[in-house]
Amino acid sequence: MNAHVRPPRLTDGDRLWSNLMTMAEIGALPHGGCCRLALTDEDRQARDLFVRWAREAGCEVSVDPFGNIFATRPGRSRDAAHVLVGSHLDTQPHGGRFDGVLGVLAGLETVRALNELGVETEHAVTVVNWTNEEGVRFSPGLTGSGGFVGAIRSYDTSAISGVGGVPFYPELHRTGYGGSTRLTARIAGYYELHIEQGPVLERAGVSVGVVEGVQGVRWLSVDFTGEDRHAGTTPARDRRDAFMAAARLAVDMRTAALALDDAFRITFGRVSVEPGSINTVPGRVNMTVDLRHSEVSHLDRIDEAIRREVVALHGTEGVEGTVERLMDVAPVRFDPAMQANIETSAAELGIATSRLPSGAMHDASNLATVAPSAMIFVPSRDGISHNENEWTDPIHVADGCEVLARAVLRHAMGDMGPH
Amino acid sequence: MNAHVRPPRLTDGDRLWSNLMTMAEIGALPHGGCCRLALTDEDRQARDLFVRWAREAGCEVSVDPFGNIFATRPGRSRDAAHVLVGSHLDTQPHGGRFDGVLGVLAGLETVRALNELGVETEHAVTVVNWTNEEGVRFSPGLTGSGGFVGAIRSYDTSAISGVGGVPFYPELHRTGYGGSTRLTARIAGYYELHIEQGPVLERAGVSVGVVEGVQGVRWLSVDFTGEDRHAGTTPARDRRDAFMAAARLAVDMRTAALALDDAFRITFGRVSVEPGSINTVPGRVNMTVDLRHSEVSHLDRIDEAIRREVVALHGTEGVEGTVERLMDVAPVRFDPAMQANIETSAAELGIATSRLPSGAMHDASNLATVAPSAMIFVPSRDGISHNENEWTDPIHVADGCEVLARAVLRHAMGDMGPH
Contact residues, chain B, for A381 at CB < 8 Å: none
| pLDDT category of residue B419 using cuts at 50, 70 and 90 | very low
The distance of A170 to chain B (nearest Cα, Å) reads 30
Residues B208, B224, single domain; the answer is no
CA dist B125 and B109 (Å) reads 12
Quote the minimal CA–CA distance from B304 to chain A in Å: 19
A393-398 long-range contacts, Cβ below 8 Å, gap at least 24? A394/A13, A394/A14, A394/A17, A395/A13, A395/A207, A396/A207, A396/A208, A397/A13, A397/A16, A397/A17, A397/A20, A397/A98, A397/A102, A397/A106, A398/A9, A398/A11, A398/A13, A398/A14, A398/A16, A398/A17
Q: Where does B201-351 show beta strands of DSSP type E?
A: 208-214, 216-225, 229-230, 265-267, 271-274, 280-281, 284-293, 320-329, 332-333
In a domain, A6, yes or no: no
Contact map slice: A 342-371 vs B, CB within 8 A: 358-361
How confident is the model at residue A1, as a pLDDT? 40
Do the domain assignments include residue A419? Answer: no
Scanning every residue of chain B, which has its alpha carbon at the shortest distance from the alpha carbon of A215?
B232
> What band does B79 get if pLDDT is binned at 50, 70 and 90?
confident
DSSP state of B389: T
Gap between the Cα atoms of B353 and A353, Å rounded = 76
Task: Report which of B354, B317, B106, B326 is spatially closest to residue B227, judged by C-alpha positions.
Answer: B317
Nearest CA in chain B to A198: B233
- Annotated binding-site residues of B for Zn(2+) read 88, 99, 134, 194, 386
Contact assignment for A269 to B282 by CB distance below 8 Å: yes
Are both A118 and A133 inside the same structural domain?
yes
- Give me the total of CB pairs closer than 8 Å, taking one residue from chain A and one from chain B: 194
Distance in Å, alpha carbon of B403 to nearest chain A alpha carbon: 22
Q: Which domain holds residue B401?
A: 13-215+331-412
CA–CA distance, A249 with A238 (Å, rounded to integer): 20
CA angle B191, B196, B202 (to 5 degrees): 130
pLDDT of B345-386, one tens digit each?
Answer: 999 999 999 999 999 999 999 999 999 999 999 999 999 998
Out of B236, B254, B270, closest to residue A278 by CB: B270
Instruction: Looking at the complex, report in whole angstroms how far the Cα of residue B217 sits from the nearest Cα belonging to chain A.
Output: 8
Same domain, B185 and B105: yes
Q: Answer yes or no: do A317 and A262 share one domain.
A: yes
The answer to whether B246 contacts A247, with C-beta atoms less than 8 Å apart, is yes
Q: How near does any CA of chain A get to the CA of B103, in Å?
A: 18
- Among candidate residues A26, A89, A66, A51, the one with its CA nearest the CA of residue A177: A66
Q: Identity (one letter) of the amino acid at A41? A: D
Q: Give, in degrees to the nearest 5, the angle at Cα A9 between A5 and A14.
A: 135
Q: What is the domain count for chain A?
A: 2
CATH of the domain at A140: 3.40.630.10
Residue spans of chain A under pLDDT 70: 1-4, 417-419
Q: Determine, yes or no, domain membership for B6.
A: no
Q: Are residues B174 and B27 in the same domain?
A: yes
Distance from CA of B270 to the nearest CA of A (A): 4
CB atoms within 10 A of CB A256: 17
What does the pLDDT read at residue A4? Answer: 62
User: Distance of alpha carbon B380 from its chain centroid, rounded?
Assistant: 14
Whole-number Å distance between alpha carbons of A218 and A327: 5
State which amino acid sits at residue A26: I
Do A223 and A202 share a domain, yes or no?
Answer: no
User: Domain for residue B419, yes or no?
Assistant: no
Q: How far apart are CA B418 and CA B415, in angstroms?
A: 9
CA distance A218 to A306: 12
B84 CA: distance to closest CA in chain A (Å): 25
- Residue A244 has its nearest CB partner, among B254, B280, B282, at B254
Which of B218, B230, B281 is the best residue to mutate to test the A interface, defined by the most A CB atoms within 10 Å of its own CB?
Answer: B230
Residue of A nearest to B385 (CA): A230
Q: What is the mean pLDDT of chain B?
A: 95
Among A329, A347, A375, which residue terminates a domain?
A329
Q: Are both A407 and A295 inside the same structural domain?
A: no
**CA neighbor of A67 nearest in space, from A165, A148, A134:** A148
Does residue A255 sit in the same domain as residue A302? Answer: yes
What would the mean pLDDT of B178-197 be, rounded to a whole number? Answer: 96
Instruction: Decide which of A279, A298, A329 is a domain's last residue.
Output: A329
Q: Is B196 on the interface with A (CB under 8 A)?
A: yes
Contacts of A247 in chain B (CB under 8 A): 246-248, 250-251, 268
Q: Is A25 annotated as a binding residue?
A: no
List C-alpha distances in Å: B412 to B104, B208, B398, B416.
Answer: 18, 21, 21, 8
| Residue B188 CA to its chain's centroid (Å) | 21
Q: CB–CB of A290 and B279 under 8 A?
A: yes
Mutate to test the interface with B, among A228, A279, A285 (most CBs of B within 10 A): A279
Which residue of chain A has the CA closest to B383? A234
Question: Between chains, do B359 and A230 touch, taking CB under 8 Å as contact?
Answer: yes
- A95 is a domain residue: yes
Q: Which residues of chain B does A258 touch, with a Cβ-Cβ cutoff of 8 Å?
A: 236
At residue B77, the pLDDT reads: 86
Residues B171 and B210 both lie in one domain: yes
Same domain, B61 and B75: yes
Q: Domain check: are B32 and B145 in the same one?
A: yes
Instruction: Give A222-267 pLDDT, tens digit per residue.
Output: 999 999 989 999 999 999 999 999 999 999 999 999 999 999 999 9
Touching A: B residues 264-323, CB under 8 Å: 264-265, 267-273, 276-282, 288, 290, 292
User: Going by C-beta distance under 8 Å and a sequence separation of 6 or more, which residues neighbour residue A403?
Assistant: A208, A342, A345, A346, A349, A351, A353, A376
The pLDDT assigned to A140 comes to 87
Residue A417: per-residue pLDDT: 58
Selected residue of A248, A278, A362 to mutate for chain B interface (largest B Cβ count, 10 A): A278
Which domain-ending residue is among A329, A347, A381?
A329
Give the pLDDT confidence score for residue A2 in this predicted structure: 46
Residues of chain B with Cβ-Cβ distance to A236 below 8 Å are: 254, 258, 262, 264-265
Average pLDDT of the segment spanning B307-313 = 98
- Residues of chain B with pLDDT > 70: what percent? 98
Q: Determine the residue among B251, B267, B280, B313 to mutate to test chain A binding: the one whose Cβ has the most chain A Cβ atoms within 10 Å.
A: B267
CB A257 within 8 A of CB A266: yes
* A318 plus A371 within the same structural domain: no
| ipTM summary value | 0.86
B415 falls in which pLDDT band (50, 70, 90)?
confident
- B329 at interface of A, judged by CB pairs closer than 8 A: no
Residue B339 has pLDDT above 50, yes or no: yes
Picking from A238, A254, A326, the nearest residue to B383 by CB comes out as A238
Instruction: Identify from B214, B254, B278, B317 which residue to disrupt to test chain A contact, counting A C-beta atoms within 10 A and taking the largest count.
Output: B278
Query: Which chain A residues in 205-224 lie under 8 Å from chain B, judged by CB atoms?
Result: 215, 217, 219
**What residues have CB less than 8 Å from B25, skipping those under 6 apart?**
none
φ, ψ of residue A284 in degrees (nearest 5):
-145, 135
Let me know if residue B241 belongs to a domain.
yes
Q: Is B395 on the interface with A (CB under 8 A)?
A: no
Query: Which residues 227-266 of B are in CB contact (within 8 Å) with A?
Result: 229-238, 241, 243-244, 246-248, 250-251, 254, 258, 262-265
CA-nearest residue to A237 within chain B is: B262
Residues of A whose CB is below 8 A from B273 = 269-272
- Mean pLDDT of all residues in B102-118: 98
pLDDT in tens, A102-146: 999 999 999 999 999 999 999 999 999 999 999 889 988 899 999
Q: What is the dihedral of CA A351, A356, A361, A363, to 10 degrees?
A: 40
Q: Is residue A5 part of a domain?
A: no
- Classify residue A176: in a domain, yes or no: yes
Contacts of A282 in chain B (CB under 8 A): 268-269, 271
On chain A, the residues whose CB falls within 8 A of the CB of B265 are 231-232, 234-236
Contact between A190 and A374 (Cβ < 8 Å) = yes
- 3-state SS assignment for residue B212: strand
- Alpha-carbon gap, residue B333 to B365, rounded angstroms: 9
- Report CA-CA distances (Å) from A90 to A41, A155, A324, A397: 11, 21, 32, 19
Q: How confident is the model at residue B4 (pLDDT cuts 50, 70, 90)?
A: low
Closest CA to B390 of B399, B401, B379, B381: B381
Contact A244 B229 (CB under 8 A): no
CB contacts, 8 Å: B361 with chain A? 232
B241 chain-A contacts, CB cut-off 8 A: 267
> Residue B267 belongs to a domain with what CATH number?
3.30.70.360
Closest CA in chain A for residue B198: A233
